[in-house]
Amino acid sequence: LNNIKCLNEPVLLHVSTKKGKGYLPAEKNPVYFHGVGCFNADTGESVNKEYSLPTYTQVFGETILEMAKKDERIVAVTAAMPEGTGLVKFSEAYPDRFFDVGIAEQHAVTFAAGLATEGFKPVVAIYSTFLQRAYDQILHDVCLEALPVVFAVDRGGIVGEDGATHNGVFDLSYLRNLPNMVVMAPKDENELARMLTTSLAHKGPIAIRYPRGTVEGVKIEDYDLPVTIGKGEVLQKGDDVLILAIGQSVSEALIAHVILAEKDISATVVNCRFVKPLDAELIGTLARKIPRIVTVEENVRQGGFGSAVMECLCDQRIPGFLIERIGIPDTFVEHGPQKMLRSKYGIDASNIVNAAKRLMRDVIKKNKT
């Protein structure tokens, strides 16, 4: 480095490093220590309990592998993250149909667009936060041409101990405003598998957004049965409050439903499934009957799912509705445990309950006046 300072010409310094150098557990298991939470410094073992449930990433990897057995046109693309995106088994089973383009997300997307023009079914698996790098390519090379590229958007939402740079809290906002793009998020692992079937049958750009962490523990069945694009589902019925949730927030909405029932507040809970296209017919019908609405998403509020719902209600001229949008405020989410961060930013059952109670109080005040 001191010699380089004295050179008056362009210089390239290539340093060949060893991942985990100096810490034996990391040297022996570099993949695990690439992104790790709290661990015992003496042993290198995680201090968190082991989970018997698989992660959403693992379910994605297993499902896409099964689908690839039936359709040789399915190919997988990732940007130096085969382990992180769950594609190791795919790469081993189908080395000629797996493409790791290195840390070059822009190239990954344009490369996938080229594959799509030749009749392949490319699945681009990239973390939400890194997909931001390829926004121009998504817009011009995929959406403008309406090409059938599947975006498997991993680590959508709060990722916690991966750190502030890895929180995937902008994707619903930056993807839903692109023409030709379909954006969806599953409530559980079975819906993730079904959405993969949906995406591979779709004739245009489509994104599936799923979180970091373990699944809900439901049985995966009928994964080859596609989800109807643009259609949500009513999970619980009530007359006082309408809770519209997307993705992993659906489970918190269902917990809130139980708590609200104990407080004599009945809530309708909808798994909206799609941020684009929204199920405008379902939302409009319910909002006319239940004009007290809570939207829940693990995404920034600006331009996200809640904003899409408000646009939908305004476009349909739904009169007199009251709405509480639960999501990430205008800030960058810091490093920390997922549960703690969700509580801090109000994206959990207790805050959904509080939002519903505020809406009910507003109705009482309005009636008194």
> From CA 122, how far away is CA 126, in angstroms rounded?
13
The residue among 113, 117, 87 whose CA lies nearest residue 99 is: 87
133 an active-site residue? Answer: yes
105 an active-site residue? Answer: yes
Q: Of the listed 19, 28, 69, 366, which one is catalytic?
A: 19
Reading the block at residue 289, the tokens are 């009957």
> From CA 168, how far away is CA 175, in angstroms rounded?
12
Q: By the 8 A CB rule, do 149 and 112 touch?
A: yes
Tell how far CA 52 is from the center of its chain: 22
At residue 315, the 3 state secondary structure works out as: helix
Block residue for tokens 């909808």: 270
Task: Count the helix, strand and coil residues of the chain and give each as a percent rounded to the nearest 5.
Answer: 40, 20, 40
The residue among 299, 297, 272, 296 whose CA lies nearest residue 283 is: 272
Using H for helix, E for strand and C for coil, what is the string for 329-357?
CCCCCCCCCHHHHHHHCCCCHHHHHHHHH
155 an active-site residue? Answer: no
Strand ranges across the sheet with 233-236: 233-236, 267-271, 241-245, 292-300, 322-328
Radius of gyration of the chain from its Cα atoms, rounded to whole angstroms: 22
Q: Of the listed 97, 105, 292, 297, which one is catalytic?
A: 105
Block residue for tokens 């523990």: 217
The residue among 182, 184, 102, 91 whose CA lies nearest residue 142 is: 182
Q: Are strands 292-300 and 241-245 parallel, antiparallel or unpaired?
A: parallel
Block residue for tokens 């359709």: 71
Q: Of the listed 89, 133, 231, 344, which one is catalytic?
A: 133
Catalytic residues: 19, 105, 133
